[in-house]
């Protein structure tokens, strides 16, 4: 955790997708910092202290979301959980675009909407851009994922007219004892990991504790608004990333996965996620003087590997049930 002096005490927050890798970490960490953080359950509003939301309806506005300092929106089906069939693409759109649009419409019904709306999105917005440096003002790329990310970001745009400060976190690969690292760990632990394709594609990444601090800062700092690249200043190639991940498990990354095989097995998911290159700069965070807790990738991966070996693993992926 950051020093206590950097924390704004007494924030009233609520988190959707709170059983997911990021949402759960945000709830736990922000509570440890002394904030009042509620997990928003899925369903119709009822009695008790727990707020609720119905992703399929724009009409269910829970009064327990009134007057929050921030609503943190982490819900959505996992983008890289399985092959992108037509049915899976529909699930991704429904759980991200439709759900975000309905949530913003429900918020609009509140007498006192949250002061800030922090939406966890993705750098998939940029598409595959090779070696080019990418900043928040760059246009959307091409492909299913870029289109999905654009619609996902725009789904809550109606909040801008309500005076709600909306921050869209374009997350890179989040490194911690869960998420992508947990999915890759079984192979790398057995010494069966290796680069994807030729390994030249760029990975923009960020450590899980830094994501939590970016979320808190997004609620408290009025200078942050619109898209924010939530990544470290130093992206890394897939070749170097896999070598560092293998080293974290005291192994070597010697078994590459050829690009044609990946495309055959995973289709669009391989082209737009596994083999895509996004070399992002965190201009918005740097402009407000954000200080990273974990800027060193090998050390961050080593700590994640240790936590996984000890069985310390937050719930994986973005939650589909919250």
Q: Which stretches in the chain have pLDDT values below 70?
A: 1-9, 46-47, 312-322
The partner residues of 53 in beta bridges, in order of sequence, read 42
Q: What is the pLDDT of residue 314?
A: 55
First to last CA, the chain: 26
> What whole-number distance in Å separates Cα of residue 213 and Cα of residue 34?
14
Q: What is the pLDDT of residue 318?
A: 32
Q: What is the pLDDT of residue 289?
A: 97
Q: Which of 144, 2, 137, 167 is nearest to 80 (CA)?
A: 144
Q: How many helices (H) and strands (E) does the chain have?
A: 11, 14
> What whole-number distance in Å separates Cα of residue 243 and Cα of residue 255?
11
Structure tokens at 52: 């609720």
Alpha carbon distances (Å) from 114 to 9, 64, 224, 227 = 17, 11, 16, 18
3-state secondary structure of 70: strand
The partner residues of 170 in beta bridges, in order of sequence, read 121, 229
3-state secondary structure of 181: helix
Place of tokens 């005076």: 163
Domains of the chain: 8-178+205-232+279-292 (3.40.50.720)
Structure tokens at 21: 């890798």
Q: What is the pLDDT of residue 285?
A: 98
Q: Which of 179, 164, 184, 201 is nearest to 253 (CA)?
A: 184
Q: What is the pLDDT of residues 144-178, one digit of tens each?
A: 999 999 999 999 999 999 999 999 999 999 999 99
Q: Which of 214, 49, 70, 202 is nearest to 132 (CA)?
A: 202
The partner residues of 175 in beta bridges, in order of sequence, read 207
Q: What is the pLDDT of residue 320?
A: 34
Q: What is the pLDDT of residue 310?
A: 84
Q: What is the pLDDT of residue 312?
A: 67
> What whole-number distance in Å separates Cα of residue 68 and Cα of residue 30?
14
Q: Pairing between strand 205-207 and 165-171?
A: unpaired
Q: What is the pLDDT of residue 60?
A: 83
């Amino acid at each position: 955790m950051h020093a206590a002096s950097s924390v704004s005490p007494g924030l009233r927050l609520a988190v959707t997708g709170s059983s997911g890798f990021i949402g759960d970490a945000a709830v736990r960490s922000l509570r440890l910092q002394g904030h009042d953080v509620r997990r928003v359950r899925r369903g119709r509003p009822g009695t008790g202290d727990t707020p609720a939301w119905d992703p399929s309806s724009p009409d269910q506005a829970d009064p327990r979301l009134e007057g929050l300092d921030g609503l943190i929106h982490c819900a959505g089906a996992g983008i890289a959980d399985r092959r992108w069939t037509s049915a899976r693409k529909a699930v991704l759109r429904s759980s991200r675009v439709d759900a975000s649009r309905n949530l913003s419409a429900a918020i609009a019904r509140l007498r006192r909407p949250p002061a800030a709306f922090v939406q966890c999105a993705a750098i998939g917005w940029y598409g595959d851009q090779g070696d080019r440096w990418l900043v928040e003002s760059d246009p959307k790329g091409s492909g299913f994922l870029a289109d999905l990310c654009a619609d996902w970001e725009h789904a809550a745009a109606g909040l801008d007219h309500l005076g709600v400060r909306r921050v869209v976190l374009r997350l890179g690969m989040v490194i911690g004892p869960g998420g992508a690292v947990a999915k890759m760990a079984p192979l790398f632990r057995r010494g069966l990991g290796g680069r994807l394709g030729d390994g030249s594609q760029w990975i923009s990444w960020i450590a899980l504790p830094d994501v939590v601090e970016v979320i808190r800062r997004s609620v408290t700092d009025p200078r942050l608004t619109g898209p924010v690249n939530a990544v470290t200043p130093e992206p890394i190639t897939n070749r170097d990333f896999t070598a560092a991940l293998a080293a974290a498990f005291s192994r070597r990354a010697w078994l590459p996965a050829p690009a044609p095989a990946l495309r055959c097995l995973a289709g669009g998911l391989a082209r737009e996620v596994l083999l895509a290159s996004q070399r992002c700069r965190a201009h918005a965070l740097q402009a407000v003087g954000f200080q990273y807790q974990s800027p060193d990738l090998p050390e961050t991966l080593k700590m994640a590997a240790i936590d996984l070996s000890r069985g310390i693993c937050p719930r994986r992926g973005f939650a589909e049930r919250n």
